[in-house]
Amino acid sequence: MSETVAELRYELALANRILAHENVFDAFGHVSVRHPEDPNRYLLSRSRAPELVETGDILEFTLDSKPVDHPTVQLYAERVIHGEIFKARPDVMAVCHHHAPAIMPFCIAGEEIVPVFHIGATMGTQVPFWDSRDEFGDTNLLVVKPEEGASLARTLAGNSMVLMRHHGATVVGATLRQLVFRSIYTCRNAEFQMAAKMLKTVSRLTPGETEMAAAVNLAPNASSRAWEYWVVRLEKSGGMPPR
């Protein structure tokens, strides 16, 4: 394994734990990154609660979501979310699927999430809504078949986030750190949007504001300031992955 891959596996374990510590994941949810040396593969943990993921748990998958080696460990059932999006979106380098409490009310009520503050603008101007019943009728709601993953990827289209009816959300990023930033701050945006609605009314950023605010908040300065912060918070909680 190259040093680049080794380092990225550690960073992915760290991303798992940060997303758990910042209330995006609980026992469930998963985050992947495209292989840095082979765009037809991606890295994802074995089936394990994200807060506990270590470097040794990270496995390699083809874009058909088959494990490259023949692991004896349990795998996440919903790998196709990652594989099908990596197939459909060559620009995407990292994918996060979660059931954060912040976004679940929107998934259940069928309410649109819109950017309501500058950092939330990183969601983009539109967050589509995917309903598994439209194509597949009654299911157990998990996205386990390739065609289910492909359907989700079609609804995501060129956007950065998609809500999934009665289930959760899937978020994508051009880098792993950008993905972590977007996943956390779209949750904050959802909380603020819901609170504004309960207080009085929701007004959203204009399209122009959204585009400009997204650009500045996805720039390395904002993202690295936040990353340092989340790492220190994780350290204080005793939650860093072993080196």
> Which residue, 25 or 86, is less far from a copy of itself as judged by CB?
25
CA angle 179, 153, 96 (to 5 degrees): 25
List 34, 35, 79, 118, residue binding a copy of itself (CB under 8 A): 118
User: How many residues sit in the footprint of a copy of itself (CB under 8 A)?
Assistant: 70
List 109, 128, 146, 159, residue binding a copy of itself (CB under 8 A): 109
The neighbouring-strand residues paired with 62 are 41
Asked if residues 96 and 19 have their Cβ atoms less than 8 Å apart, the reply is yes
- CA dihedral 206→221→239→6, nearest 10 degrees, is 110
Asked if residues 181 and 225 have their Cβ atoms less than 8 Å apart, the reply is no
DSSP at 205? P
**Residue 243: other Cβ atoms inside 10 A:** 7
Q: Which stretch binds a copy of itself (CB under 8 A): 89-97, 101-109, 154-162, 171-179?
A: 101-109
Annotated catalytic residue within 22, 78, 84, 191? 78
**Residue 23: other Cβ atoms inside 10 A:** 15
Q: Which stretch binds a copy of itself (CB under 8 A): 55-63, 81-89, 151-159, 231-239?
A: 231-239
Under rule CB under 8 A, which residues in 25-84 are in contact with a copy of itself? 26-28, 47-49, 51-52, 74, 77
What is the maximum alpha-carbon separation in the chain?
A: 55
Can residue 93 be called a binding residue for a copy of itself (CB under 8 A)?
Answer: no
Q: Which residues bind a copy of itself (CB under 8 A)?
A: 26-28, 47-49, 51-52, 74, 77, 99, 101, 104-111, 116-119, 121, 133, 137-142, 166-168, 188, 191-203, 205-206, 208-209, 212-213, 215-216, 221-222, 225-226, 228-230, 232-233, 236-239
